[in-house]
Structure 1
Amino acid sequence: MIELIHINEYVYLKDVDIYFSEGLNVITGETGTGKSLILDVIGSFLDYQNIRSETFSADMVLNLDMDFDEIGIRRGQHIFSVERKNKRLFYKVDGRLIGREQVQNILSNIITIHKQNSHMKLLDKDFILEVLDTVADNYELLEKYKELYENYQHVLKIIAGANKDSELKKLEELREKVNEIESAHLSEEEEQELEEKYKKALNLQTLLQNYSSVSQHLEEIENALRKIYSLIEDKYYEFLDTAVESVAELSNQISKELSKIEEMNLEEIENRLWVYKKLRRKYGPTTEDVIANLQKWLEEIKQIEKTIKILENAEEERLRLESELRSLAIQISERRKNAARNIVKSIERHLKDLNMNARIDFYFNQKDMARDGIDDVELVGSTLSTGPLYPLRKIASGGELSRLMLALELSLASTDVLVYDEIDAGIGGVTAVKLADKLSELSKKHQVIVVTHLPQIALKADKHLSLRRTGDTGTVVELDERARDEEIKRMFGGEEFIELLGDFASKENKRKGK
């Protein structure tokens, strides 16, 4: 249940605490005080927001009766926070940042908000299907069906847009390109080494002359150093040995370089570089691009081979998928029809309690297989005891639709917390009393929060809250018995109206001889 909502700042509500209890919580107030602002705040934690202010932040204390291991939340009391900055909403749980979807997934299983004019959804066929699938628990079957349907559409697309001969031709062309590149064994490292070798090879003659001259000079230096041994004392031999060894090592390295240069084949390097140049020109412009295209074409080859395989067995695959889809669609449809029968009984019972005698049913029409199955469903009804049923969009008034939606919601109430935003619009008299009884009955199993203008509902409240506004400041007050009596009198129309009702009742009693 929701224990507390703290509004730090929202429109003219600043630093406001709203404490809720179990049972029926009623929020009332003068027209124009903005009672629905409180529902905006609750809605901001769910997947439909109607934030009317650039700056906004609020906290909601919830007592959870289950664990949510995916984000490390255990049952018990937790603080959910929301803040709007730079036109974006940020969420926290117990001071820890949590993703929007995670918060909404948790709270949508706990809280349901029924907004004003939600009865218009009764005219939406997608909404009707969603209701039936929820009651029928069709979601697992629907996931399987939708996956098959995507595969089925893919096969149809291939059949419609692909030709085996053209696919084979495309495959042959790609394989030629791939074979040409793969047989070249390209690598960016080798290309760089070849270019360096080529630069050296272009200066081959100069290098040969230089290294030959160096080698000759080193030989002369070494001979000269060796002659010095006979001219100096033994104590200087160590220095001379070092000099001779250095010259000998340098001479050895120069000899190796000469061997490499002599072994270098300029024509071979040019031919290999030409392979790179040719492939860059055809599939480049760089070697990196050529290698990237190779990987892309290898993937394309896999897809084309898959397409050809499907085309070879296209009709068989289409029929197989169609058969499986049809079987699943029929299962889903039958479960929807069973759910519809159960809902109709419950709706009609609630409608009768709400002072509305009506026959209601779900009209099923079979359509071509679509992503949501084979059912085209519409809610039909009649306020007459006999005769045909007609689509609600053609016969129901706003007040009747409102009561129908309420009956549906009462039939489907499933989450722990149910929030209603002036669902009593267009309802009065005896029906208002019946509605109050219904909400009171519902609050025995759920926490119910209602924004209302009906005193009949306020009279049933376990907790009565009043939203009051003075200038640019709004407050939410929990009413004691005396204040509650005054508020309910105001809702009935004030003292004068109540006196008129008393006079009317007195006259009626006299007329009836009581």
Structure 2
Amino acid sequence: MLQALSIRDFIIVDKLDLEFDRGFTTLTGETGAGKSILIDALSLALGARNDGLIARAGCDKADISATFSIDENLAAKNWLSDNEIALDDALILRRVIYADGRSRGFINGASTTVNQMKELGEFLVDIYSQNAHHSLLKPATQRQILDDFAQNTNLASLVAQHYKTWHMLHTQRLAVEKNAAAYADELAELRDKTRELQQLNFSLEDWQDIQQEHHRLANGASLLAGLEACIALLDDNDVNISGMLAQVQQKLIGLVDFDAQLKDAADNVDSALIQIEEASRALNRYLQKAELDPARLAEVENHIQAVHNVSRKYRSKPEELSELLLTCQTRMAELESFANDGALAKQETDALKAYQDLAKQLSQSRQQTAKTLSQKISLEMQRLSLSGGQFSVALSACEASVNGLETVDFLVAGHAGVEPRPLNKVASGGELSRISLALHVTTASQGSVPCMIFDEVDVGIGGGVAEVVGQLLKQLGAERQVLVITHLPQVASQAAQHLQVSKTQQNGSTLSHIQALSSTERIEEIARMLGGIQITDTTRSHAKEMLGV
């Protein structure tokens, strides 16, 4: 449930801290006092879009925090766990919106995206605006209401997913049949291309090795001549480096006896002589193995030429040939699966059957639920002064679609003896508002969201009907937390908690305030709602009667 709402510098609210009770809470106030500001602020904390100026004039930002208790809200707990957000004693959603339109969101102190706040918010609060009854005329809304009431949300989602899978395979098969000749030509071309690339036996690692080998073989004569010259200088000539270093070594041995400081130099010469001898042996070993191999050189050059020829043919670099082969093989496998009409057709058939099985389950559930919902709404219509009226959910078979195997239409008869007709053809504004409210109250009892907010959904009704609406909301408040913004005293008097919105002028600025009313203050507010500007003892007496005090 919603425990508290904290607002700072939001539109015409400078500072507001509200705590909410369980059950039915009402919010009232003069027209223009800012009753909907509370809902707007809460909506932003729940991830709503920021569509206008939010920060109060002269302030650099607005700061809104909503605190919830989710002890019994498993869906919200699971969402927090899935998103690796710690759950403290309470759940706090905070939104900071700057004057330039930028915003930041936080869930339990952790920085988060607005989309994440919106996802979580769907498990916390349902908000019904005063224009919600207009969406009731849309087929999609009617279907959604029926599926929500039947708790078919997951099943309907599966039906949509399976339809998309089947439709994709169906479209694919038709395309294969239409383009069979083109696919066959492409497949033949790919097979030739793949065969040529495989015969090349190319790999990037081998390509680098063979280039190095070619460089060595192509310069074999120069390599051998250079090696022989180096070996001669090191060891073979009458005057060579090894011999000269040996002479230096012998000289230094005697000199070290005269001055020990020459020991390091002598050691370095010893090391140099050892390294020269090792280098000489290594060069000799290499020279003994090295040989000119014109046949191998020709073989390597032919392979390199073949690689370059294929690269030019397919407009690729040699380094890209391995990837090109993989691409060809992948496309070949795809086309070969297309060519196997039986396999593709079977996939399509299996997908269609899976869709139909789920869609039939959805249809059966809708049919059963349609009867229950029709009866419940028809009963509520009698209570809402639509005497003799009848509500009916009509299901009509249609072609398979993402929405299932039928269309959903809400039909209504305003009074006895009239055949129910589509809602958008017969319902007046007042009737539509009452039917919408009946639907909200009836379907809400099946929902899992613990807090419901009604923003002036009682527009267009009054008198005894308004009293019944208040009773319905009070009844709903016994099961859920309900917050209602209303201008009707018949509705407000049914609430367990009463909040009042007022507007004041301060330093040339208009500020909105919200306070919880005491029993005495509540009598005055209900009397104001009943009698207008001038409150009399009669209106106070009437207010007390409505409040049962």
Q: TM-score w.r.t. structure 2 length?
A: 0.81
Which residue is equivalent to 2:121? 107
Q: CA 1:256–1:282 in 2, change beyond 3 Å: closer, same or farther?
A: farther
State the shift of 1:12 in Å.
1.8
Is 1:184 paired with 2:184? Answer: no
Cα distance in 1 between the residues matched to 2:539 and 2:107: 51
Q: Deviations over 1:110-166 (max 9, x none)?
A: 321111110012111111111211222323433443343223212211221113454
Is 1:400 paired with 2:431? Answer: yes
1:149 touches 1:371 (CA, 8 Å); kept in 2?
yes
Which residue is equivalent to 2:188? 172
Which residue is equivalent to 1:301? 332
Cα distance in 1 between the residues matched to 2:91 and 2:344: 56
The residue correspondences of 1:106-125 to structure 2 (distance < 5 A) are: 106-125=120-139
State the shift of 1:2 in Å.
1.1
Is 1:250 paired with 2:266? Answer: no
Which residue is equivalent to 2:359? 329
2:451 touches 2:480 (CA, 8 Å); kept in 1?
yes
1:21 touches 1:463 (CA, 8 Å); kept in 2?
yes
Q: CA 1:387–1:122 in 2, change beyond 3 Å: closer, same or farther?
A: same
The residue correspondences of 1:93-492 to structure 2 (distance < 5 A) are: 93-163=107-177, 164-218=180-234, 219-220=236-237, 221=239, 225=243, 245-258=274-287, 259-260=289-290, 262-263=292-293, 265-309=296-340, 311-315=341-345, 317-357=347-387, 358-413=389-444, 414=447, 415-470=449-504, 471-492=509-530
Which residue is equivalent to 1:494? 532
Give the aligned residue type for 1:249. Answer: E
Range moving further from structure 2, 434-443 or 158-167:
158-167
Q: For 1:56, which of 44, 52, 62 is the aligned residue?
A: 62
Cα distance in 1 between the residues matched to 2:374 and 2:536: 39
Percent of aligned pairs sharing the same letter: 24
Q: CA 1:242–1:82 in 2, change beyond 3 Å: closer, same or farther?
A: closer
Range moving further from structure 2, 283-292 or 57-66:
283-292
Q: CA 1:292–1:34 in 2, change beyond 3 Å: closer, same or farther?
A: farther
Q: CA 1:83–1:282 in 2, change beyond 3 Å: closer, same or farther?
A: farther
Cα distance in 2 between the residues matched to 1:360 and 1:254: 102
Give the aligned residue type for 2:243. Answer: L
Cα distance in 1 between the residues matched to 2:191 and 2:245: 71
Cα distance in 2 between the residues matched to 1:75 and 1:416: 19
Range moving further from structure 2, 468-477 or 116-125:
468-477
Cα distance in 2 between the residues matched to 1:130 and 1:31: 33
Q: CA 1:101–1:223 in 2, change beyond 3 Å: closer, same or farther?
A: closer
Q: Deviations over 1:64-100 (max 9, x none)?
A: 2235151465585332222235756543233223454
Cα distance in 2 between the residues matched to 1:493 and 1:272: 102
1:354 touches 1:431 (CA, 8 Å); kept in 2?
yes
Cα distance in 2 between the residues matched to 1:152 and 1:228: 88
Cα distance in 1 between the residues matched to 2:458 and 2:39: 15
Cα distance in 1 between the residues matched to 2:348 and 2:276: 83
State the shift of 1:102 in Å.
4.8
Q: CA 1:406–1:215 in 2, change beyond 3 Å: closer, same or farther?
A: same
Range moving further from structure 2, 234-243 or 435-444:
234-243
2:85 touches 2:110 (CA, 8 Å); kept in 1?
no
Is 1:81 paired with 2:94? Answer: yes
Q: Deviations over 1:368-398 (max 9, x none)?
A: 0001111111111111201321111111111
SS at match of 2:498: strand
1:283 touches 1:290 (CA, 8 Å); kept in 2?
no
Q: Deviations over 1:315-370 (max 9, x none)?
A: 55544544443343232112112111111111122222222222111122211000
Q: Deviations over 1:236-291 (max 9, x none)?
A: 69989867654443333333554446358433332232233223223453234333
Cα distance in 1 between the residues matched to 2:346 and 2:251: 102
Cα distance in 1 between the residues matched to 2:246 and 2:129: 109
Q: Any unmatched runs of 5+ in structure 2?
A: 55-60, 256-265, 541-549
Give the aligned residue type for 1:488. Answer: I
State the shift of 1:403 in Å.
0.5
Cα distance in 2 between the residues matched to 1:316 and 1:498: 80
Range moving further from structure 2, 177-186 or 33-42:
177-186
Range moving further from structure 2, 72-81 or 414-423:
72-81
Which residue is equivalent to 2:7? 7
2:498 touches 2:516 (CA, 8 Å); kept in 1?
yes
Q: CA 1:497–1:246 in 2, change beyond 3 Å: closer, same or farther?
A: closer
Range moving further from structure 2, 282-291 or 240-249:
240-249
Range moving further from structure 2, 436-445 or 91-100:
91-100
Give the aligned residue type for 1:56. Answer: A
SS at match of 1:15: strand
SS at match of 2:364: helix
Q: Any unmatched runs of 5+ in structure 1?
A: 503-514
Cα distance in 1 between the residues matched to 2:251 and 2:129: 112
State the shift of 1:207 in Å.
3.5
Aligned residue-pair number = 500
1:63 touches 1:75 (CA, 8 Å); kept in 2?
no
Is 1:35 paired with 2:64? Answer: no
Q: CA 1:261–1:118 in 2, change beyond 3 Å: closer, same or farther?
A: farther
Cα distance in 1 between the residues matched to 2:214 and 2:343: 55
Cα distance in 1 between the residues matched to 2:271 and 2:483: 99
Give the aligned residue type for 2:512. Answer: G
Q: CA 1:53–1:294 in 2, change beyond 3 Å: closer, same or farther?
A: farther
Which residue is equivalent to 2:544? none
Q: TM-score w.r.t. structure 1 length?
A: 0.86
SS at match of 1:475: strand
Give the aligned residue type for 2:90. Answer: Q
SS at match of 2:69: strand
Cα distance in 1 between the residues matched to 2:275 and 2:93: 79
Q: CA 1:329–1:266 in 2, change beyond 3 Å: closer, same or farther?
A: same
Which residue is equivalent to 2:547? none
Q: CA 1:299–1:376 in 2, change beyond 3 Å: closer, same or farther?
A: same
Q: Deviations over 1:53-72 (max 9, x none)?
A: 35432111112223515146
